[in-house]
Amino acid sequence: MTANLIAFAGVIALASASPGPNVILVVDHSLAVGLKRIAPTILGNISFLFLIALAAALGVGALIKAAPVAFDALRLAGAAYLAYLGIKALRAAFSGQAALSGGAGASDAALTRYRQAFLMSATNIQSILFLSALFPQFIDHGEPLTGQFLLLFSTLILVVGSVHLSYALCAAVVRRHLGDGRFRAGIKALSGIAFIGFSAAILTSVLRRG
């Protein structure tokens, strides 16, 4: 099981290291509020990831394949949310608001970051299919399944959390050297464009399937 677990961790690390919407959100929040306040974002990401992994283990991936219309509807909802975040980021960049919105208390701001990350993870419905295909490759049916799934879930969350924290650390290093507000606004604008780009990619994929 140890060799399988290492291989599983490697696959997850490669998949999560690719700069997707979740990674961009971690970088965006880290640049905006600093490394010390990035925990809610990472927790939001891995909270929904746990639900996705659980759904994959329960066989929801097979149900999604059997109901392509519902799958596409969920993906379109995710695309709409990404577009919303992209437009919001662009507006913040052009209005000179480099950080997440002011006026709210620290706990409210943390909750906002957690909610954004949780919903961002929810846009990646296709990850259920990915994990549904991945889990069986690392399961030994001669051993108790519950313990194996718990171990895989824990590894998944640990690896993804570590990857996101690494991105946050890199962003924190950059943040220390961001003395120019216009440069920070430019990073915010690039994040917005990336979110809108991901939204457009999902929309195009759904339309092609149709």
Domain count, the chain: 1
Whether residue 83 lies inside any domain: the answer is: yes
Q: Is residue 190 part of a domain?
A: yes
Please report whether residue 62 resides in a domain: yes
Domain membership of residue 154 (yes or no) is yes
**Residue 25 lies inside a defined structural domain of this protein:** no
Query: How do residues 5-17 score in pLDDT, each as one tens digit?
Result: 889 999 999 988 8
Residue range of the domain that includes 93: 2-14+35-209
pLDDT digit string, tens, across residues 56-105: 888 887 777 778 788 888 888 889 999 998 998 888 888 765 544 433 44
Across 93-119, b (16+ Cβ under 10 Å) vs e yields beeebbebeeeeeeeebbebbbebbbb
**Taking 70 as the threshold, does the pLDDT of residue 23 lie above it?**
yes
Would you say residue 174 lies in a domain? yes
Predicted TM-score (pTM) of the model is 0.81
pLDDT tens digits, one per residue of 149-160: 889 999 999 999
